[in-house]
Chains A and B, each alone.
Chain A
Amino acid sequence: MDADTAIGGPDGRFPSTHVSLIEAAASGLSEAAMDKVIALYWKPVYRFIRIKFQKSNEDAKDLTQGFFASALQRDFFPRFDPTKASFRTYIRMAVERYAANQHGAENRQKRGGGVEFETVEDQEIATESPELEFDREWRRQLFFLALDDLRAHCEQTGKRAQFSIFEDYDLSDRDRLSYSDLAVKYGIPESTVNNHLAWARRTLRAFITERLRGTTSGARELHEEMRRLWK
């Protein structure tokens, strides 16, 4: 299987769905609100389509793009009923239906044109659960966006030291420095390291909550999603 798209990765930009503000408003959401939904869900939808329907990078990107464009043009978002499922589940099920229809239509066109064989790589990918991958990618994307918010906030409010300490400790993929090592490195007391980390975590949590608030139906769903996030 070819490599995943870089969209949504470092410095990535989510592609515009080429839907005007009027069209977005017609579906009941402002453009800003729609952007939040797309920013959080573009990558999980893309990964879900890739794994569930074993699509190439380009095909998965096209289908993802097609899904959001179609969702905006139809009354997909106003039809969401929070009493039946969370917004996350609603999107995943809608993507599954949409991609299955597209996939079916594609196969019907190809029928008679020879038998398609799965590659070994594709078979390996297919053993993963697309639903679990969707949730994992959603979680990763949520943190990724909230971390971006935190970084921007720190730059705007002159809290670069707080972010650097947070980056050195909480975002480190290797052996973490101890609080005392960080205190020496930044020339500050250990208690200040502790306070800076507590502040950064608290603020990151607030940004996560805000991102979720923009993509859930209300307080109840927001709290449920928050609870699931830590499980």
Chain B
Amino acid sequence: MMINEGSPRESFDWQGIKQRLSRAQESLRSAENLSDAQIKSLMAERARQLARVPERVIDTSELIEVIRFRLGSEEAAIETRFVLALMQPQSITPIPDTDDFFLGLTNLRGEITAIIDLGCFLGLSGQTQRDAQVLVLGTEKPECAILVDELEHVTTIRKQEIREPSGGLGSVVDLLIGCTADAVMILDGDALLRCDRIYIDQNDQP
């Protein structure tokens, strides 16, 4: 009885279903194998992009290369010459009785390096994720590593565009070169590496 009540007036469109299935199978097969024409057009587009002449030859002395990243809700950048590598720490070993921003130590390619929560260090709001990536800082050898959120890629910034930091930032001002128009803090790598507070001194121990 229920079978008869099913759909005498609009029977299930088995033919349409079969067609749709075969179409899906076809598209799945064709997605893996690009046709020759498609490959050729993709390659040509890529070559065109690479061969593009820069719009303007920029005086490299006026430019600094920075790597942009996020600290909580703030965006910051640091010159690439102070960055050694970007890594994902395997494990962080906390060190008791240290400052809050001092997250712990880790092994980076054989070097024991301290990891610092820079947002906390700079007194910025927002919490940095624990499983975030770390930037290894240093010029010759790894000095320290900072925990960052969402690394952007490497960009160049003109020195003229960097504005002097205003006085409202307190002690942080010493660690900054300035600020860009889109509110990205440019950290001073030298000042940061020279800062005593990020180094653990045995003598400090009470």
A complexed with B: no
Query: Which B residues form the contact surface with A (CB < 8 A)?
Result: none
